[in-house]
Structure 1
Amino acid sequence: MESKGILTKLYSFLYIRGFKVWTSYRTQVALTILSWVLPVFTYYFVGTSLGNSLVERIGVKDYTSFFVIGLAFQGYVSSIITTVSGRIRNEQLYGTIEYYVLSRSGVTSFLFYSAIWGFAVNTINAFIIMSVGLGLGIKYDINWLSSIIISVLLILSTLGLSFLSAAFTMVIKQGNPISLFFSTFTTLLGGVVFPVTAMPIPLTYLSYALPLTWALQGLRGSFLDGEGIVQEGGIILVLLVFNVILIPIGVLAYKYAFRKAREKGTLSEY
Structure 2
Amino acid sequence: MNNMFRKIFIFFWKDLINMFSYKLGTVLYLIGLLIPLVIFYFLSQLVGDNAIPQIAKYSKEYFPFVLIGIAFSNYFIFGMNSLSASIRNEQMMGTLEAMLSTPTSIPTIIFSSVIFDFILTSLQIFLYIFLGIVVFNADIYLSKIIPTLIMLIFTISSFGVFGILSASFIIVFKKGNPISMLITQTSILFGGVYFPFEMLPDWIQFVSKCLPMTYALRGMRLLLLQGAEITEILPDLIFLILFSVIFLPISIWIFKVSVQKAKKDGTLIQY
Q: State the TM-score, normalizing by the size of structure 1.
A: 0.91
1:37 alignment partner AA: L
Closer, same or farther: CA 238–106 of 1 in aligned 2, 3 Å: closer
Q: Structure 2 counterpart of 1:161, which letter?
A: F
What secondary structure sits across from 2:43 in the alignment? helix
1:45 paired to 2:55: no
Distance 1:199 1:210 in 2: 14
Q: 5+ residue gaps in structure 1?
A: none
Q: Residue by residue, what CA displacement relative to the aligned partner does 1:57-81 show, whole Å, maximum 9, x if unpaired? A: 5434321111111111111111232
Letter in 2 for 1:43: F
Distance in 2 (alpha carbons) for counterparts of 1:107 and 1:269? 20
Offset of residue 217 of structure 1: 0.6
Contact 2:11 2:113 (8 Å CA) reproduced: yes
Q: Where in structure 2 are the equivalents of 1:94-109 lying within 5 Å?
A: 94-109=93-108
Gap runs ≥5 in structure 2: none
Offset from partner CA, 1:130-154 (integer Å, 9 cap, x none): 1221111112113122100000101
Give every structure 1 segment of 4 or more consecutive aligned residues whose post-TM-superposition deviation is greater than 4 Å: none
Shift of 1:167: 0.9
Residue 198 (str. 1) matches residue 194 (str. 2) = no
Aligned residues: 266
User: What corresponds to 1:6 in structure 2?
Assistant: 4
Q: Secondary structure at the match of 1:232?
A: helix
Q: Which amino acid is 2:121 matched to?
A: N
Alignment of 1:93-242 (within 5 A): 93-134=92-133, 135-142=135-142, 143-242=144-243
In structure 2, relative to structure 1, the CA distance for the partners of 1:75 and 1:260 (3 Å cut) is same
Question: 1:248 and 2:249 equivalent?
Answer: yes
- How far is 1:49 from its partner? 1.9
Asked if the contact 2:48–2:61 (Cα under 8 Å) also holds between the matched residues in 1, the reply is no
TM-score by length of 2: 0.91
Could you say if the C-alpha distance between residues 108 and 234 of structure 1 is closer, same or farther in structure 2, counting changes exceeding 3 Å? closer
Q: Which moved more, 1:26-35 or 1:179-188?
A: 179-188
Please, which moves more after superposition, 70-79 or 31-40? 31-40
Q: SS of the residue aligned with 1:230?
A: helix
Instruction: Output the aligned Cα RMSD.
Output: 1.8
| SS of residue paired to 1:192 | coil
Identity of aligned residues (%): 29
1: CA distance, partners of 2:66 / 2:55: 13
Mapped to 2, the partners of 1:130 and 1:182 lie a distance apart of 26
Q: Tell me which residue corresponds to 1:262.
A: 263
> Distance between the aligned counterparts of 2:178 and 2:185, measured in 1?
10
* Counterpart-to-counterpart distance in 1, 2:140 and 2:49: 20
